[in-house]
Amino acid sequence: MTERDDDRTLLAPRDRTQHANAVGLGTVIKDRFVLESVIGKGGMGMVYRAKDLRMEETQDRDPYVALKILKDEFQRDTQMVVALQREARKAQTLAHPNIATVYDFDRDGQLVYLTMEALDGDPLDQVIAANTDGLPRSQALPIIRGLSLGLAYAHNNNIIHSDFKPANVFLTDDEHTKILDFGIARAAPTGQMEASETDAFDAGSLGALTPSYAACEMFEGADPHAADDVYALAIIAYQLLSGRHPFDNLPAPEARRRKLEPAPLKGLKRREWHALKKGLAFARSDRSQHAAEFLRDFEGGSKLWLAFGAVVLIAAAFAAYISYVQFEEVRRTAPDIPFVELPEAAQLDFTRLLEEGDLLLQFRDINSSLSLYLQAYQLHPRNQEAVKRLESFFGELTGKTIDAGNSQRIAELYENLDAVMATDDFLGYLPSLVKLRDRLEDTARK
């Protein structure tokens, strides 16, 4: 089924007897989801905590999901239905600890809904409102880090949130941040796709931006850019640390017209303040261009580069451990197409993926860095730079995980390594990875 066929199916309800006004607590959606309580209300719809009867039948320990239903007035609005579908589709591609997991998009009669992981905690806007002088640094800094890492992962996947704000962030009871609602997320232009290959629907055309968090370029209709999300991220970071908006909730164009500047915050290190000011710049060209860049500026580069140096040394030590015969095996199995013969855009993408993977590894964002390394490998299979990254990544992690002696972590790492090796026969039989997998398996048996 093509994407357009899928859209037509969703926009042609099988049963028009059920109406959104009939929805309430106790309603059963799709003969499966029982609405038990209201979690929140957004611009596009209501979010409920719902029990998944199918999960309950299989005796799942946590049979609950969050279920978002499109508002009644939008039920027959084709654009809004497509917007919700795009929210699900984009969010389903983002598997990261700081991004809420979206499960499915469906409809029951006229009710259009999506399901996502149920979260226990509070929306970040409520947390900020309850702390008028800002949160303690010990609480605010991990939140800023989590938001930055979640956005960086989305940016690495070429997705811009486009409506990033505290109401679209959830702080769980165990103080983990979860970014929600990619409802108007827009793919950043890459210059690598023909017009016929792009999605003709632009959720940003709905105009669903939040004025006090939107960058000037968003008001001007410019193409989406990761720096737009950085502007909102810097505002949220400022609010977490001070309890107030840096520009008194004024839209960016008006704050720029008045030549407002954010008031300095007490207790910040110089690099932290410079990073915030850079992120709050009205001109896109003056802002951090990526959430990872913002985090690097905010946390400082020296210690991180030292940490990265340690990773390089470990990688070198691990490479020395691999036998001459194994290197010969790798050398003989070269890529089908030499790197220099790849299209220039592919070469740039490959280099970017490795560099961003290295950068996020500095921030100890293991999931994102592995994803980027694997994307680079898949872009140019058997490329030795990508292979070395994967080898050193799993080599270091295997040693640390075994030394820690956590049997669950060992099992999880084994599964991840096994999944990467299943990418193709080359990785599947690569001696270095085979040895690591055997080592993990032997440790798990002890």
Pairing type for strands 111-117 and 121-123 reads: unpaired
pLDDT at 62: 86
| CATH numbers and ranges of domains, the chain | 3-117 (3.30.200.20), 121-191+198-299 (1.10.510.10), 303-445 (no CATH)
Bridge partners (DSSP) of residue 69 are 46, 113
Regions of the chain where pLDDT drops below 70: 1-22, 42-44, 73-88, 90-91, 183-208, 301-334
pLDDT at 308: 37
Phi first, then psi, for residue 385 (nearest 5°) are -65, -45
pLDDT at 2: 37
- pTM, entire model: 0.64
pLDDT at 90: 66
Instruction: Report the greatest alpha carbon distance in the chain.
Output: 71
Q: For residues 177-202, b (16+ Cβ closer than 10 Å) or e, as one string?
A: bbbbbbbbbbbbeeeeeeeeeeeebe
- Do residues 84 and 44 make contact, with C-beta atoms less than 8 angstroms apart? yes
Burial of 395 (0-12, 13-18, 19+ CB in 10 A): buried
Task: Respond yes or no: is residue 163 known to be catalytic.
Answer: yes
Instruction: In whole angstroms, give the CA distance from residue 179 to residue 171.
Output: 9
pLDDT at 59: 86
- Do residues 218 and 239 make contact, with C-beta atoms less than 8 angstroms apart? no
- The catalytic position among 52, 163, 228, 229 is 163
Instruction: In whole angstroms, give the CA distance from residue 202 to residue 187.
Output: 9
Q: How do residues 182-236 score in pLDDT, each as one tens digit?
A: 755 554 554 333 333 334 444 444 456 789 999 999 999 898 899 999 999 999 9
